[in-house]
A and B are shown apart, each in its own frame.
Chain A
């Protein structure tokens, strides 16, 4: 898997007498196999616009987005998206939701339910296969959403604040779960979050974005998820000195952007 974004810009046309909005300017980003890139930034910095570009929901005003050398020209099953909420289908039970992507691709029911059950187990949802999704807790619904995206076997998993609606405890557990799955499936992940701690803990690389115009202002390589997967406890990683120092540094950048707004 290779994703390359070359000098991509997005300009929203002017509306009702207001000036055109430069949502993204001059974005350059490459992403390789098994990378976990986290995007962080003040609101309005273009994180979601960037995700929409990669997903193919939005075409860049200039520049290009290439996936394995081919120009992205629309959404596709090689780039599954996990949203914060409201993305599950309440008329389907857990198994049917997880198997939904395969159904769209025309996989017969026996095979798609077998695959679905595999990912249901992986996300720790055993025993809930037949439950209606609206009866599940927020954390479990999110796990269904992740399982559903994984069954499509995408090259790239796009996660738009997937843990943003969860309570703090569930959220930390979900972070560890996602890292475990990432290690097991060797997926490449593009992950948006508002939480600096989550960003540092999860990613192999961090891009910090700034608003007006939306751009990548800082890039960091991150060692922390590797340390967690190497056996160190999650809280221990998050409480380590270098983690805290980097967290404060990044927070300072983001607060400065918020002030400037």
Chain B
């Protein structure tokens, strides 16, 4: 032991996080029955989430209602609803809101479907074959981190201002995550599952069909969820040039006329569709792969 006051037990206690003012942050308490001690991030979030949304909405309503911010910058929530009803009834630039929505969802889902149709088989092939992985890995990894806005001009130069370049741009943003997810999914099967199948007389094809593909399914579904997220992100970029219809077009051209309420309304519509589809995918996930993470 030492006489150095800085090392005395009393000093130690003063700096000890277990006894300081914020000790409740540091200390792990025993859990309630039914919970597991020490699991990170354990607990219900639904009420806090509702509270968080309510607070944001209230703050939004308050700053507009009190006139602290001009409607040009932040229109009131009521104005957004009114705008929604107005555009729903009268359309935007002579096109109905439903049509804008259908055109955009058509572009995103068309591109998404195409990306899944090509990306999932390619990703699986990349996972199964070093030759295919060797060939396709560099180009995919090369273009994947580039923002779609950067190669949008190229798409337009090469494929014109029509539908092709728009769908292709969205397709490219979905394709990489879907292909890479499927490729990683191939590694999900446990080697014991694969060896057992071979020892029951399976051919390579049967092992792929009956073991590797089913066990890759959870990761493929996750990759699809991530992929379509990228698709919605890219939508506005795709509709920046030479579009006359679509939610992205609506948002962009409304912003040029400082129609802020239309901009916000469009954003909310996009978010609502994307979120609904994500919920649908989560539902599909629970139905199709109830065994995910359970073995």
Contact = CB atoms under 8 A, between A and B. Distances in A.
Q: Are A and B genuine complex partners?
A: yes
A101 B195 contact: no
Contacts of B190: 86-87
Given A90-B291, A132-B290, A85 B200 contact: no
B164 interface: no
B196 A83 contact: yes
A83 B294 contact: no
Nearest to A82: B196
Given A100-B200, A104-B201, A105-B201, A86 B195 contact: no
B6 interface: no
Contacts of A84: 192
Given A133-B295, A134-B291, A89 B199 contact: no
Contact of A89 (B193, B201, B206, B290): B193
Interface in B270-295: 289-291, 294-295
Nearest to B201: A77
Given A104-B206, A134-B291, A86 B192 contact: yes
A65 interface: no
B262 to A, nearest CB: 47
Nearest to B207: A104
A128 to B, nearest CB: 16
Interface residues of A, number: 31
A152 B201 CA distance: 9
Nearest to A141: B295
Interface string B211-225: 100110100000000
Contacts of B192: 83-87
A81 B295 contact: no
A104 B195 contact: no
B195 A91 contact: no
Contacts, number: 80
Interface SS of B by simple majority: helix
A86 B198 contact: no
Contacts of B214: 89, 91
Contacts of A86: 190, 192-193, 295
A158 B199 contact: yes
Interface in B181-207: 190, 192-193, 195-203, 206
Interface centre among B190, B197, B201, B203 (most CB of A within 10 A): B201
Nearest to B199: A81
B70 interface: no
Contacts of B197: 100, 104
A90 B200 contact: no
A84 B191 CA distance: 12
B210 interface: yes
Contact of B195 (A77, A83, A105): A83
B90 to A, nearest CB: 51
Interface string A141-167: 000010011001000001000000000
A57 interface: yes
B195 A75 contact: yes
Contacts of A105: 200-201
Given A57-B198, A104-B202, A91 B291 contact: yes
Nearest to A75: B198
B295 A134 contact: yes
Contacts of A45: none
A88 B199 contact: no
Contacts of B196: 80-83, 87, 145, 148-149
A55 B196 CA distance: 10
A86 B215 CA distance: 12
Interface in B217-260: 217
20 contacts: A75-B198, A75-B199, A75-B201, A77-B200, A80-B199, A83-B192, A85-B192, A87-B192, A87-B195, A88-B295, A89-B193, A90-B294, A91-B217, A101-B200, A104-B200, A105-B200, A132-B290, A134-B294, A148-B200, A149-B200
**What 10 pairs across the A-B complex have the smallest Cβ distances?**
A77-B201, A101-B200, A90-B291, A87-B192, A81-B199, A134-B294, A86-B190, A75-B198, A90-B295, A83-B192
